[in-house]
């Protein structure tokens, strides 16, 4: 699990992450997103909204972690959703989540 948060930090430093509902939704709709992380403790409405968006735009998503830890991993406050904007980093995160 810690390696995923480490990868989120690297993604942030590379400028390849959009966090928060507004920026994540924009990244999905603009076709810039390769993976969406949805915090497991986010509201059910948020989870449903982003799962439906990901399915509609054919983008992978994972329900993972808690808002506070995701936010801390990217140097922000509580973060319910985050979009990974780099294909290779998204693939690395998905591989770590599959373990």
Q: Could you read off the pLDDT of 9-66 as tens digits, one per residue?
A: 999 999 999 999 999 999 999 999 999 999 999 999 999 999 999 999 999 999 999 9
CB-count exposure of residue 13 (10 Å: 0-12, 13-18, 19+): exposed
How many structural domains comprise the chain? 1
Q: Which residue has the higher pLDDT, 14 or 2?
A: 14
- Mean pLDDT to the nearest integer, 1-12: 88
What pLDDT digit, counting tens, does each position of 73-99 carry? 999 999 999 999 999 999 999 999 887
Q: What is the CATH number of the domain that holds 78?
A: 3.30.1330.30
Cα-based torsion angle of the residue sequence 42, 19, 61, 13 in order, rounded to the nearest 10 degrees: -130
């Amino acid at each position: 699990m810690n390696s995923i948060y480490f990868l989120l930090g690297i993604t942030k430093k590379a400028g390849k992450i959009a966090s928060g509902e507004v920026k994540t939704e924009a990244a999905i709709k603009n076709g810039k997103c390769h993976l969406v992380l949805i915090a497991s403790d986010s509201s059910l409405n948020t989870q449903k909204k982003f799962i439906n968006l990901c399915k509609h735009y054919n983008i992978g998503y994972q329900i993972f972690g808690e808002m506070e830890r995701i936010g801390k991993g990217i140097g922000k406050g509580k973060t319910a959703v985050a979009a990974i904007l780099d294909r290779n980093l998204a693939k690395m995160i998905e591989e770590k989540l599959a373990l």
